[in-house]
Structure 1
Amino acid sequence: MYCLVKFAPLFVAVAVCNGWLFGDFVGKQKELDEISLWPLPQKFQSSAIAFKLSPTRFQIVQAKQSSAGPSCGILENAFRRYSEYVFGDLKKPEKSRKKVYDSDLVELQVWVTSADPECDDFPSLQTDESYELSVDEPSAVLKAANVWGALRGLETFSQLVYEDDYAINNINKTDISDFPRFAHRGILLDSSRHFLLHGVAGSV
């Protein structure tokens, strides 16, 4: 018995190193770390080919054939918001001088395909929020039926950008096709039940 207790830590250490214990956990954790998109798209294919994104040269623009023009405030504001989100304040001249490098990917073209881009409407149960995103040099293309699908695609694009060991922004060659699993997403706050539960708990 004494020998078992004495050598138990050694056995556990050897088992962990060889993957006898926690093997499935480590494997699944590695798989989750490699897929950092949330929520995970319906169809997602990425390669090891990486493209550099320069804060001073990369831009998000409306595609020429897009039905949503410069007057679409929802998209124009989103372009600025996501550009700042991806690069932070590196687009400022005093900051960008510290990170000057060529950009393999020069732009993300956002292409809204429907005749009514829904720039002036709120999303409804009938709104098509699907999108397709293709990341390849020199331009990435985000294709969506309306602005609400385009917003979902912009969020996904922003999550694909990462910094390498040299603090250079990169994005891998990627193809994504995505749509919401449910037509309606909501949340219910039952304040009366919350109050009653806490009231009872507090009085006990």
Structure 2
Amino acid sequence: MRLNPILFALFSLVHLVARSQSFEATMAKQGLVDVQKVDPTILVDLKYSTTDNFVGKDVYGDLTRAYMQPMAAQKLAEASKYLQAHHPTLRLLVYDAARPRTAQWKLWNALPDLPENERQKYVADPRKGSIHNYGCAVDLTVANQDGKPLDMGTKYDFFGELAYPSRENELLKAGKLTQQQIDNRQILRTAMRQGGFSPIEFEWWHFNALSREKAKMVFRIVD
């Protein structure tokens, strides 16, 4: 028996909405908050709710709002406040925030050809949990007043040394990054540090509100 195309489309829509509501309901139940309700000036474009990501697929479905633990969202608001005080035409643009562990598995499994130690540079092992899974990490950039991201030298989720904050000086000397690209990254890092976040070695866009060890002690993983 063939399902009427209209009914099939309606069923698919209901399924996507239910999945989104399930993710959001779980986050809300665990006390996470929508970052734009804490600071409406923060821009959000969840890349895993689009096909513009390294998987090339929509991983989140209709989940398009960025959630974080309240303390992390407040830190992000402080970073946003600092950025706007020093660069009034710029805004934080969030690419990813709290991430369900079901989505973590999809990202992990999308890199089967990388050795496990190499894979963990870019995607945390779902068995251990990412800081994103605890709602204590954020991936983001800086955008201008039109919402256009500044040039950071690579796209979001670029796997390679060009994205490494730890290699910027030598990449500048080698002509692989420009001073403007590094300056743009520094604008982001300075604001995030002022908000209380810590950068990491391999990704210019990733910042942690807490260490994974502390996050595990205080919060539960979002499944």
For Structure 1 versus Structure 2, the TM-score category normalised by the shorter chain is: under 0.3
Relative contact order: is structure 1 or structure 2 higher (C-alpha 8 Å, sep ≥ 6)?
A: 1
Greater Cα radius of gyration, structure 1 or 2: 1
TM-score norm. by structure 1 comes to: 0.23
Higher helix share: 2
